[in-house]
Amino acid sequence: MDSWILIKILLQIKMGLILPLTILMLILGTTCGAFGKRESKVKTAIFLSPKFELGPGSVANKYDYDIDFPRGHIALKSFNAEVIDELGNPVPLHETYLHHWVVARYYEAKHVATHTRYDGHRELHQSGHVMVRNGGICQRDVLGQYFGLGSETRGTATDVPDPFGIVVGDPAEIPEGYEEKWLVNIHAIDTRGVVDKLGCTECRCDLYNVTEDEYGRPIRSDYKGGLFCCYDESQCKLREGFEGPKRSLYLRYTVKWVDWDKFIVPVTIYILDVTDTVKIADDSSGVVLEHNCLTEYDVESCSSGEKECLHVKRTRVPVQKGGYVIYGVAHQHSGGTGSSLYGKVMFNTAVILVKLGISNSFFSPCMVCLQIENYSCKRVFNNDYSCKSLSI
């Protein structure tokens, strides 16, 4: 059977924080001439997440299980989302900052009762549940989601072109006695009336007045900001005397798909993380890759009086297959200005450097080494702004 793999790279930059960037890359074991033709019959459905509530300066970081989602043996073509109010109106980012949302897939035993609401745990720990992660490449279940973006969600296309599709719901893959389900994690920050909107969205610990994470564990003194400080039901500092109503909000998500047929080219999602300190080793079975995706890292402030400074961070990640790049988009927080992905295709003796485009770039089936470059303007803690180029 031919090997088809889609690489989805998610990258997110946020004051000392990298979460996922998004590219879709197809790794092929045959040529385009072998593709069959199909008449596209795309179906569309719009769903709402369970309600979450936010008051001025408050944070919601909810995990909802068994969400509404297309069922059956299908090929997903796109997934788009945005935050709306009770009247169905889109909520502006300057009032509710959508830090991120991610959608993950799991199997649940048919005899197990579903937990539909966040219960204080980040994963399904109880027996009877099996997380179905993407194709990699991070360790264990780190960055194992299928879809995810953040504040840049509106206007960001996620369409997978024909004849490709992200195939789910295959009865042959679902274990006996289990059924396929989906969960969504929504992390949103209400910035109405806060003393520092950018600082709140950067999850600066001093603005949240926290010294412990949501599990009561002490936060190290050099941790200036990140997910440990803006957890569910935390509160960012408000302007003195500010009052505002609590709002009920939803994540409205639109899913497009087609029913499975023999002309669909299946693809697999991969997520790469700039903090991945991958180690390459050899053993009797060949090359062994040990990944260590950290998801966060610190960007140091500029020196005093410096108007501009350059911060560079790169990672190179070997991917032991090749193929087509069919989609790509950077996932960045405020301050980000651009991202680039580069690839080296390595044959037995020759190395060819290629810059990957967003659509229809080709990799031969061999070892591929990817390098991500991201550019951002970074805020300095003295409330000045300093433009930085951040290379990933």
Q: pLDDT tens, 107-116?
A: 999 887 666 6
Residue 135: predicted pLDDT: 82
Measured CA to CA, the distance from residue 301 to residue 316 in angstroms comes to 25
Q: How many CA atoms lie within 13 A of 176 on its CB side?
A: 0
Q: What is the DSSP string of 175-221?
A: PTTEEEEEEEEEEEEE-TTBS-HHHHHTTBHHHHT-SB-TTSPBPPT
Residue 336: predicted pLDDT: 58
Express the helix, strand and coil content of the chain in percent, nearest 5 each: 5, 45, 55
Peptide bond into 137 cis (omega under 30): yes
Residue 69: predicted pLDDT: 98
Measured CA to CA, the distance from residue 379 to residue 390 in angstroms comes to 12
Considering only CA atoms, which of 103, 199, 87, 200 is closest in space to residue 153? 103
Pair 325, 359: CB distance under 8 Å: yes
Give the pLDDT means over successive 10-residue stretches in the chain (392 positions): 32 39 48 50 96 97 96 95 95 94 93 63 64 85 86 82 92 95 97 96 95 95 92 97 96 97 87 80 74 78 68 72 65 62 49 30 37 46 32 28
Q: Which residues share a beta bridge with 1?
A: none
Residue 66: predicted pLDDT: 94
Pair 163, 41: CB distance under 8 Å: no
**Long-range contact pairs involving 214-222 (C-beta distance under 8 Å, separation at least 24):** 222/298
Write down the pTM of the prediction: 0.79
Q: How many CA atoms lie within 13 A of 298 on its CB side?
A: 10
- Taken in order 346, 351, 355, 359, is the CA torsion positive or negative? negative
Q: What is the DSSP string of 68-136?
A: ----SSEEEEEEEEEEEETTSPBPPTTTEEEEEEEEEEEEEETTSPP--S--S-SS--STTEEEE--S-
Strands 311-312, 74-85: pairing is: unpaired
